[in-house]
Structure 1
């Protein structure tokens, strides 16, 4: 009977009801062992006859097998695999070991979402992952990925786990013990003869844990229930439950206990595997009958399961160590005979207690196939176990290093760092030492100190220079990026010194030359004309290394060709999306967001940055996430969302990365300018230009010089403005970059005597108009100047242009200033037809649909399900005033 869970049941009922109506929901149910998570799920599913139920309960021994839990959950809908795109279907088959190939984890995750959406076309689906704390990490990552993207699918995802399960911001339902009234009702219902004092003590000792209440009351003697004999001494709940279960198991015959231990140690749930292992131990299949009659195990077809997962834990933990080892060896032999080599090797490893090189080598050999199946975290665990079984410390260091790389690939940088530290204490060969140093650089760059990353990357380059010149060049490039992020661009030149010899004749030669621009080198010395940029891009895109695909964008951006940078960036993003390389896509996102911002596609920039933040959360790239939050702060500054700008900027500043901090300060300064607070703007920008400031990034000194000079002029701080301008002018005069010349002319106009400003404003406006925000702000300043000088007719033209551009960008505070100035000049803004603004994700979908992509193709690009794409298109059409997909080509987007 149901006791004390009315509110929890309502939450689950609402979750299922939402899925039935096409609004996908996820709920993570947290609670201690025995608190009633499974019972709550049973109660909810009893009212889900109209839904397809995909249910699986994880077991502890499967936690190291990649996608074991996912395969169990999805098995009933495998018949729909052929309806998925070929790449997605292949990824799932590879992940589950049904086919050879490579299963990139984000492709597997998208395929899982798509498969569930397909199943939900027939009837609503509820996916139930019980005891999820024992799920393998690959399955956990996939379920969390799916949970974050359930929108328009009639799918409910219910995850029940211990308190340690990571929710990552998804909806959660905490399950505690029953209150005293509900606990008393439960005990009265099950054990009417319990005295009031005994009930009270049990409720107090168990904290209302329903399983503990029932199990412990069931173990009491009649005299103890009546209160005529004392209850057992108080012990912790975990041990108390385990003792309750082991006492029941101890009453079984010896052969039955051994057979039950085989079930507890098995990770397949297969009756055939258990019986084969039991035969090797001299145990008859009939031995399981007593365990079934004692309600310890249940046989469901060809699958064995424990009545409650705590029974499995109790049986396994209570068994003598030597007996557990014997059982694992029997399971290994049975699985090997059945052709399940990976499972067999794992059990053999569990049966080993000292150095065991054959087993360690076998674990290492199976790592590569497991990695191709997308089980990077399982590979890390297997290699760590192999390292622990290694007698030779050099072999141990190599295996720990490989384990660390796999953890890094799986998006677990903290685990990778810990493994690196373990390996670093051991003797290692040259290749292993190089691998370790390279990994330290990557981990530091994405989660720690970019300065430390630069040091490690340069050290790795020196180690690799003789045997692996290609890797040496890659690490020098990594060092330049790290130095740039640290704000130490002087180090870039020293990092690049001598790299040309290493890079000569390799595909990285051009990338190494391009890297020099990060230190402020003359971009024209690398390539600058559109034709040169296109040829360079073709060369770099042909390199079979996705890490260099962002260089064409970077080179075009520094060359001042935003249009080509935009094209190259989307070309790289498309290739990375198609390959499911989300971890590298996050590195491209800040660059592409920058380009979108400069060319006036602020909604696109926000969409890319927001998506990047979400992907960084899934890949553990905290530094990159801070970069993207800073870009979002800059966009919020432009649109005038003061609270959002300050919140995002503060989040970004908290990481303490130089390039990120400078960008966040720029956002705050720009916001102050838009609000008309020149004093606040001055103090914000001054942080970038102070010589010893941690915000003094050289690149942002150039890009923000015009804003700082405007803030100085409006604050009557002309001397500081002149000093900043002198440095900027020296660079901009020779840079050959259009935006720099535009800023240079605007600065001259701001600093010139009033009667001499006009030609400088006109020179600025004559520059190529790739950056509408820059053009609009110069038009606004020139219009203000004209109005002050009583040239109102001319002023109106420039102020109206400024208002129209700023209003179109969504720069509401700037647009308001332009409108005020226009009215003061005797003009009015033109009437425009208000248009509904698309959300960042809607805009991405609309733009892809306008190119002719199908819902399925768009879903693959954006890591969504086709149904979610259709749901968003259903909202997009009315907003844009269209009725057909083909009309998207004729609607201005972004």
Structure 2
């Protein structure tokens, strides 16, 4: 049965070529890709709806037969001139479909190439499939569309599974199958035919190499020769990029460079860099280990690798792979190493070592297996459903209860996690386990919004997120030293609270540079905090990208605990941009999460109502909040002023400030900090409150107090790189000055706010500032260049034409240097200029 999935984009591109019926508009579509990737199926799908299709296929055994391909096409000719004449005589378009063109005989390909260069009146399209690019050089480059077929994505893999077997894998199951088969349809169908669905759906069960891949790898190994094959086997045993001399030592190859050249030519190995080699295709490792190497040879290679290992961890790992039966001494060393790695939050390596220890120590297998389960959950490599079922079948130890609680918490099931963790706390006998349980209870309490309880548990807890919890419950100053990813995350959270956006970003980017070393939760939270930092800094596209990556990571790992937080941050950006439907969907999704997520959703709902100019909506969102929403209390006060309730607004503002001081003092007491007085709220929060006080004084006609409050707000924001917050103050300040009749001064504030809103794409605020400027008698500046510059591009261009640097422009417009660079590159492209001097001359002269 032929199944076609996942090639819609490629189909559309090729059909566009086929739809061009101009005489002489001949084209070659060269479809490249490895064996089994779907080239033949794609061409068959394309040719099915065409008339006058001629088909041929190259064969390795016939590649030396002159004009064999032309003979298959039924042209009855031998040679380019004759082929031109034959094509010109035929009415209508002609489509030649050539499969396996890498094996086509050279005279036929030369004749086709000759014909394509010289035919004039006929319409000819050649669809050719090749396993490599060698045949592509025979076709005229100016008439060739080269299309590389890569593996199917996870969605297409899931669809193929559903059509072939009736089983539709989950996103995570589909992602695993895609990685295991590289998305190759041939290998995937081979695997589906060999492995029962229940095993495919068990993410903890190892999958065999597809038979189609194994046959290809074994043929390549045979073609490469014994020395090259042994070198490939050693690289597979070493499991990753490795120095060539180490692989040669393990393999016992005397001439490693010659062997490497043959392995590279066979498509088995590649050079990562000089002297470092890796498998060309990672999925080939299982085929080599399963079929090329028998158990005894594989164990012998692991023993050699252990002897050549440069560290004790590597030596222990290879010895465990070579072991035949239980080995208590080796298991003890592996367990100690795995626990140390877990304490250092190196989760992937810890899971590997603890799993190996469990295999070699049957008496301790249950406990070690649960410790390995913890590491695998943290690393994102566990199947939560299968793991929970297996854990429930084990004896009811404290470790089992902790592992179950951890799995439930990671899945976002707070009540079930709470039940397991609280039940196991009295039975957690060792300090190590007690610290782990307390750390998870601290995180649980934070997600429930119970800051005091979170702080109490956090004092007793250990874990990767203890610093993150501490930062949220205390808002203390960021510690100077931070070594682990968890400590970096906590410091970043503290820095973000204290408006240190550059410092927070530096810490968070350092976490993400570590790749797979931090836990899934740390990586998700790093993305979410980066999104918050980018939101505050006006880098809104980047903020949305980080939110999307966090949501994707939560789905791939089946750990959705923090996904609603990411959706809430995305909603704040979409609300400010006026993307009402998308913002409402994100808010609704975040409301379905934990109380902490609902708190963030309330922030977004308040911002959405404020962007719409809906003061009653702001009040309603505030009253519906599950916790306290301190960063939005300024918006609430402004809404109360708008609703004509200045007295209530003042009480709310005083109460918000008092509650923040109380919360910080209580958190400091719980965490045992020195009682030197609670720290002040961050400058950005105080700036929002000052803006609200300005609106309150303005409503009471207290002119001097209003001016002082607005100016205080701008002074607090100076140097914080928070353009949107500054623009909001300019808008409020300018709107009030306009109502006082001070139109010229008001216009200066409003123009600056308008430029920032334009640069950010904050549509509701652009419209609001435009209306205020019109009321001042100021029309927005027109684009005199005639090049279609947007308002933000024009503002940046005019500042640049005055000789201002990018940093000066950014400071003037309250945007980031990155935003200025982005707009300036578009200006140069649209105006076709290369320098500020040319830009100044053009803006002075106007359109030509």
With the length of structure 1 as denominator, give the TM-score of the two structures.
0.51
Distance in 2 (CA, whole Å) between partners of 1:417 and 1:396 is 13
Deviation at 1:823, TM superposition (A): 1.0
Deviation at 1:426, TM superposition (A): 0.5
Corresponding residue number in structure 2 for 1:493: 455
> 3-state SS of the aligned residue for 2:561?
helix
Distance change >3 Å, CA 743–CA 887, structure 1 → 2: same
How does 1:339-350 map onto structure 2 within 5 Å?
A: none
Q: Deviations for 1:685-730, whole angstroms, at most 9, x for unmatched residues?
A: 2211xxxxxxx223xx211111222223323455654453232121
Distance in 1 (CA, whole Å) between partners of 2:752 and 2:547 is 29
Distance in 1 (CA, whole Å) between partners of 2:749 and 2:35 is 55
Distance in 1 (CA, whole Å) between partners of 2:695 and 2:34 is 55
Distance in 1 (CA, whole Å) between partners of 2:685 and 2:823 is 41
Deviation at 1:674, TM superposition (A): 1.4
The answer to whether the aligner puts 1:697 opposite 2:645 as a matched pair is: no
Distance in 2 (CA, whole Å) between partners of 1:24 and 1:803 is 51
Corresponding residue number in structure 2 for 1:422: 392
The answer to whether the aligner puts 1:553 opposite 2:504 as a matched pair is: no
The answer to whether the aligner puts 1:715 opposite 2:643 as a matched pair is: yes
Distance in 1 (CA, whole Å) between partners of 2:568 and 2:297 is 53
- Alpha carbons 2:568, 2:587 under 8 Å: kept: yes
Distance in 2 (CA, whole Å) between partners of 1:125 and 1:467 is 55
Corresponding residue number in structure 2 for 1:727: 655
Distance in 2 (CA, whole Å) between partners of 1:26 and 1:9 is 16
- Alpha carbons 1:590, 1:631 under 8 Å: kept: yes
What is the aligned-residue RMSD (CA, Å)? Answer: 6.4
Deviation at 1:409, TM superposition (A): 2.9
Distance in 2 (CA, whole Å) between partners of 1:726 and 1:619 is 44
2:100 to 29, 38, 49: 49
With the length of structure 2 as denominator, give the TM-score of the two structures.
0.53
2:11 to 14, 32, 36: 14
Corresponding residue number in structure 1 for 2:701: 755
Deviation at 1:819, TM superposition (A): 1.0
- Listed as ranges, the gaps of 5+ residues in structure 1 are 31-35, 53-75, 78-120, 148-154, 166-210, 212-237, 239-262, 274-327, 343-355, 528-532, 689-695, 838-849, 851-872
1:406 to 352, 376, 387: 376
How does 1:202-601 map onto structure 2 within 5 Å?
A: 358=326, 395-399=365-369, 401-403=371-373, 405-406=375-376, 409-415=379-385, 417-419=387-389, 421-422=391-392, 425-426=394-395, 428=397, 433-434=398-399, 436=400, 439-450=403-414, 467-468=431-432, 476=438, 478-497=440-459, 499=460, 515-519=469-473, 521=474, 523=475, 526-527=476-477, 533=478, 536-537=479-480, 539-540=481-482, 543=483, 545-574=484-513, 576-577=514-515, 584-601=522-539
Distance change >3 Å, CA 607–CA 620, structure 1 → 2: same
How does 1:682-693 map onto structure 2 within 5 Å?
A: 682-688=619-625
Q: Deviations for 1:714-770, whole angstroms, at most 9, x for unmatched residues?
A: 234556544532321215676422112212212222333521251322222221332
Distance in 2 (CA, whole Å) between partners of 1:44 and 1:403 is 51
- Listed as ranges, the gaps of 5+ residues in structure 2 are 18-27, 47-55, 60-97, 104-130, 133-144, 198-210, 222-289, 305-323, 662-677, 784-788, 794-805, 807-820, 840-848
Deviation at 1:598, TM superposition (A): 0.9
Q: Deviations for 1:68-123, whole angstroms, at most 9, x for unmatched residues?
A: xxxxxxxx99xxxxxxxxxxxxxxxxxxxxxxxxxxxxxxxxxxxxxxxxxxx999
2:558 to 617, 620, 634: 620
Deviation at 1:589, TM superposition (A): 0.7
Distance in 2 (CA, whole Å) between partners of 1:783 and 1:27 is 66
Distance change >3 Å, CA 382–CA 711, structure 1 → 2: same
Distance in 2 (CA, whole Å) between partners of 1:157 and 1:747 is 59
Corresponding residue number in structure 2 for 1:808: 759
Distance in 2 (CA, whole Å) between partners of 1:745 and 1:127 is 56
- Alpha carbons 1:26, 1:158 under 8 Å: kept: no
Corresponding residue number in structure 2 for 1:793: 744
Distance in 1 (CA, whole Å) between partners of 2:733 and 2:446 is 35
- Alpha carbons 2:380, 2:519 under 8 Å: kept: no
Distance in 2 (CA, whole Å) between partners of 1:9 and 1:820 is 48
Question: Greater relative contact order (Cα 8 A, min sep 6): structure 1 or 2?
Answer: 1
Distance in 2 (CA, whole Å) between partners of 1:763 and 1:9 is 57
Q: Provide the aligned length of Structure 1 versus Structure 2.
A: 574
Distance in 2 (CA, whole Å) between partners of 1:714 and 1:583 is 41
**Of 760-769 and 804-813, the range deviating more from structure 2:** 760-769
- Alpha carbons 1:24, 1:156 under 8 Å: kept: no
Distance change >3 Å, CA 815–CA 467, structure 1 → 2: same
